Amino acid sequence: MPDEAHLTMQMDQARRHQRPKPRRLMLVGIALLIAALAAAAYGIFSRAKSEKSLARWTIAQAMDSVQVAPPGTSTAPRHLVLPGDVQAFYEAPIYARVSGYLKSWSQDIGAHVRKGQSLAIIDTPDLDEDLAQAQADLATARANSALAEITAKRWHALLASNSVSVQSADEKAGSAAAQRAMVAAQVAHVSRLQSLESFKRLVAPFDGIVTARNTDVGALITGGSSASLALFKVADVHAMRVYVRVPQSYASQLQVGMTATLKQPQYPGVSFPATLATTSQSVATESRTVLVELTAPNSEGKLWPGTYAEVDFALPPDKNVLLVPSSALIFRAHGAQLAILGAHSRIVLKDVTIGRNLGNEIEITSGITPTDRIVTAPLDTIEDGETVNVTDAPPPAGVLASE
């Protein structure tokens, strides 16, 4: 029995140890409740944050997306290409000084001639007759002058013996002087006609090439430049003069002695050197351009008078000129503009002044600064103050994870 009582006592003690205390159970319950509330709060906060981030990203995606880039500057020489007229270094139209008929011509177009070389001969029957008549009149005047001289000497001798009056002697002396003057006048007339006779032969005024022949054998020739066309044209082409009209905005950048290159359509891929010789130093009011003259050597004779050429001026780079993509320009009613990315990703539209069109790039001479961020390809509907999304910027953190 004692053993049974002892066993019963041990079983009662074990049941007392296994029965939990009420206070401990309450603490465990509170801890579990707090843990559950914390987990729920964290889930709600995390979802709210994700939803807010997703909302920001959605708004950003709804904005116009743009790409931006700073304006560029060029350190390479700028090329100004303008049309030019190539002319001979010297070119002279040959007119007839005397009238008649063309007897013969000896040089045709393209002929290389030397100074003084004969080009043509004019038959002048009227001039020949005038010269013959003048020479006869000169002979008569000389005979009359000789007779007047003899008469004056005789009357002067008779005056010593008082056989004639002083008045009569003076008259004879005056008549002799008048006849001498008539001889001088006839000599000058004959000399003039003989000089005109020398113009029957047309000659080259300098070494060059015959570029035009506007007459033929038997043609009626009228003396003087106002009554007829030039019979011949002779051009000195050892060097050429090139005339270019340069816009006023570039006039100050052209200096005497600077070099340029010429290109002509008949010589594809070939360029010719030229040097700026002088400028007109005045602006044409009808075109607002400056006439510039260049000289180009022509030892090979490839440059011809009257031809067209593209003149390429290598100008120094302008530090005040900025380059932007051609796609960045916006044309509105009041002129050209560029979209600049301002603070808080807002668009600022700036009026700009356009320089040269370089194809993919445009020169901007005023309106922007080197630190501006240019929208490279703005939409036509972009407005001043509009908020945009820069595509180069990464999306907000956590947006992709929350999706």
| Residue 341, in any domain of the structure | yes
Structural domain boundaries, residue 112: 92-213
| Residue 315, in any domain of the structure | no
| Residue 243, in any domain of the structure | no
Point out the domain boundary residue: 189, 213, 237: 213
Q: Is 60 helix (H, G, I), strand (E, B) or coil?
A: helix
| Residue 163, in any domain of the structure | yes
DSSP 346: B
Point out the domain boundary residue: 191, 213, 235: 213
d(CA 260, CA 258): 7
Q: Which helix (H) or strand (E) holds 297?
A: strand 289-297
Check if the beta carbon of residue 245 is closer than 8 Å to that of residue 284. Answer: yes
| Residue 272, in any domain of the structure | no
Q: How many domains are there within the chain? A: 2
| Residue 141, in any domain of the structure | yes
| Residue 292, in any domain of the structure | no
For residue 281, is it left (φ>0), alpha (ψ between -120 and 50) or beta?
left
What is the rounded (10 degree) CA torsion for 385, 391, 396, 397?
A: -160
| Residue 10, in any domain of the structure | no
Work out the angle between the directed axes of helices 166-198 and 125-159 (0-180°, nearest 10).
160
CATH number, domain of 383, equals 2.40.420.20
Point out the domain boundary residue: 213, 237, 252: 213
The tens place of each residue's pLDDT in the chain, 403 residues long, gives 455 565 566 666 555 555 555 666 677 677 777 777 777 677 676 766 666 665 555 555 556 778 888 888 877 677 889 999 999 999 999 999 999 999 999 999 999 999 999 999 999 999 999 999 999 999 999 998 898 888 888 878 787 777 778 888 778 888 888 889 999 999 999 999 999 999 999 999 999 999 999 999 999 998 877 667 899 999 999 999 999 999 998 888 888 999 999 999 999 999 999 999 999 999 999 999 999 999 999 999 999 999 999 999 988 877 778 889 988 888 888 788 898 888 888 888 888 988 878 788 888 888 888 888 899 888 888 888 888 888 754 443 333 333 3
Beta bridge partners of 220: 101
Looking at the whole model, is its pTM more than 0.75? no
